[in-house]
Amino acid sequence: MEKTKRKGAVIFSKYSRGEGIKRLLSISREEVLFELRDSKLKGRGGAGFPTATKWNIVAAAISSQKYIICNADEGEPGTFKDRVLLLEYPELVFDGMVIAGYTIGAKHGIVYLRGEYEYILQSLEDYLAKMRNDNLLGKNILGKEGFDFDISIRLGSGAYVCGEETALIESLEGNRGEARNRPPYPVNTGYMGKPTVVNNVETLASVPHIIVKGGEWFKKYGTDRSTGSKLFSVSGDCGRPGVYELPWGTKISELLDLVGARNTKAVQVGGASGTCIPKSQFDRTLAYEDAATGGSIMIFNESRNMLHVLKNFMEFFVEESCGQCTPCRIGNTKLLEGVEMIEKGEFTFNYINQLKELGRTMQVASKCGLGQSSPNSFISILENFKEEIFNGNGGAHGK
């Protein structure tokens, strides 16, 4: 969709470059935190942790160095909204990072850019150079004494797990991308062992609007527990795929109408690690309290074979598990083998149920979010589409 056609009440609302940073000249860190808390902004990466709380912990930490990291390792299958933000609205993301740096007391921000997005690196570097030129970055920003902040961009190397914040930090430090033990959390012991805020691109892009227009304004959109709006990356069987800004609380059916989806059988909300929602539940709402998502919406119409969909997801996780912890490394392989068994018709219901149980173990016993969420689609697709999979054309009858 063309930028000019993009409509949205919050993120795509009017904002002029540097506006949020200028606002900082007249407000204190505490006031920023107040607006942020008032807005009830939650992390847009999917986990939904309150942003103000995260910032507050780092702001309160005593440390010689602190960092703000922008998680631009947009790797969840079916999401591409961060790419749109970085390409077309870099002012929102980078102003958000400057505001974060000012608030938490970090002098250095790092963008961890997905390896496959290397082609937008130059345009981002050019934009940062312009910011430095206009003193929106660098020393004594906009003449404010002691307001020093700069941003560097680092490229990932294609591992999905590096979107997990502690694995991302490991990768930044030059180590193998593997999730850390938690606690400690990055807000205490993050990049280089220093207090660190890791925020999603979209979270940071929401911040300048909140600072300029106020938390009260932000809360007008969305639901009580999911304030503001959300960017959805819509793909699959629909007439108008693309990035949409919709307020939280939008019903799945409303979204489907908007994007021109017909004969929809299922919607995968939240990418490969999300849940698969069948037609009977299309009145559910997109919100943290109902169908939560980091933004990926994949639409499948009646012609799709849900077992193939599931197999595709499981192949993805088998390949993308970092291989560190047992439940995720071997568990995903076993789930994929299970899907293949169903495909061939060589399975027992008893074993498939055991695999579902295994999935529940993976959800609670894996070391990081990857393994904890990878069985979601296995469980939800087998549960919600059992008619099709076990009795229809998706697989032969079980024994």
Partner 1 sequence: MESKGDLRAPVSQTPLIVEKPKDTSAIGGMVSIEINEKKVAVPLGTTILEACKMNGISIPTLCHHDDLCVAGVCRICVVEVEGMRTLQASCAYPITNPMKIKTSSPMVRRARRHIIDLLLSEHYGECYSCFRNGKCELQNLAKEYGVDSYTFGHVEKPKYEVDKSSYSVVRDMSKCVLCKRCVRTCIDLQEVGVLEAVDRGDNTHIGTFLEKPLADVICINCGQCINRCPTAALRANDPSDEIWAAIDDPTKHVIIQTAPSPRAAIGEEFGLGAGHSMTRELNTALKRIGFDKVFDTNFTADLTIIEEGTELILRLYKALVKKESVALPQFTSCSPGWVKFLEHYYPEYIDNLSSAKSPQQMFGALIKTFYAQRAGIDPANIVSVALMPCSAKKFECNRPEMHDSGYKDVDYGLTTREMARMIKEAGINLPEMPKSNFDNPFGEASGAGLIFGATGGVMEAAIRSVVEFVLGKKTEDIFEKANIIPLRGFEGIKYMEIPIGDKVGPVPELLKHLVPNWDWLKGAVLKIAVAHGTANAKKIMDDIKAGGKFSECHFIEFMACPGGCLGGGGQPIPTTPEIRKKRAEAIYAEDESLELRKSHDNPHVVQIYQEFLTEGPCGHLSHELLHTHYLKRGRYIA
Mapped onto helix, strand or coil, the DSSP state of residue 195 is: coil
Tokens of 320: 């993308």
Return the residue of 281, 333, 386, 396 that touches partner 1, per CB under 8 A.
333
CB of 264 to partner 1, least distance (A): 31
Q: Which is nearer to partner 1, 161 or 246 (CB)?
A: 161
Restricting to residues 348-367, name those near partner 1 by CB under 8 A.
354, 357-358, 360-361, 363-367
Q: Which is nearer to partner 1, 24 or 113 (CB)?
A: 113
Nearest to 66 by CA among 218, 186, 211, 235: 186
- Which residues, in sequence order, are bridge partners of residue 291? 286
Return the residue of 193, 260, 345, 392 that touches partner 1, per CB under 8 A.
193
CB of 101 to partner 1, least distance (A): 17
Nearest to 248 by CA among 217, 212, 292: 292
Long-range pairs, 120-129, Cβ under 8 A, ≥24: 120/83, 120/86, 120/87, 121/153, 121/155, 123/87, 123/90, 124/86, 124/90, 124/153, 125/153, 127/90, 127/91, 127/94, 128/94, 128/153
Return the residue of 329, 356, 386, 396 that touches partner 1, per CB under 8 A.
329
Q: Does residue 318 interact with partner 1 by CB under 8 A?
A: yes
How many amino acids of this chain bind partner 1 (CB under 8 A)? 50
Restricting to residues 160-189, name those near partner 1 by CB under 8 A.
161, 166-167, 169-170, 173, 175-176, 178-181, 183-184, 188-189
CB-based contacts of 366, cutoff 8 Å, min separation 6: 325, 327, 328, 331, 372, 374
CB of 216 to partner 1, least distance (A): 32
Return the residue of 10, 52, 151, 159 that touches partner 1, per CB under 8 A.
159
Restricting to residues 59-118, name those near partner 1 by CB under 8 A.
65
Q: Which is nearer to partner 1, 172 or 299 (CB)?
A: 172
CB-based contacts of 143, cutoff 8 Å, min separation 6: 25, 135
Q: Are strands 229-236 and 242-247 parallel, antiparallel or unpaired?
A: antiparallel
CB atoms within 10 A of CB 354: 13
Return the residue of 324, 376, 377, 384 that touches partner 1, per CB under 8 A.
324
Q: Which is nearer to partner 1, 259 or 368 (CB)?
A: 368
Mapped onto helix, strand or coil, the DSSP state of residue 14 is: coil
CB 293 within 8 A of CB 228: no
CB of 66 to partner 1, least distance (A): 12
CB of 360 to partner 1, least distance (A): 8
Q: Does residue 289 interact with partner 1 by CB under 8 A?
A: no
Single-letter amino acid, residue 126: D
DSSP 161: G
- Where do contacts with partner 1 occur on this chain (CB under 8 A)? 65, 159, 161, 166-167, 169-170, 173, 175-176, 178-181, 183-184, 188-189, 192-194, 317-327, 329-334, 337, 354, 357-358, 360-361, 363-367, 372
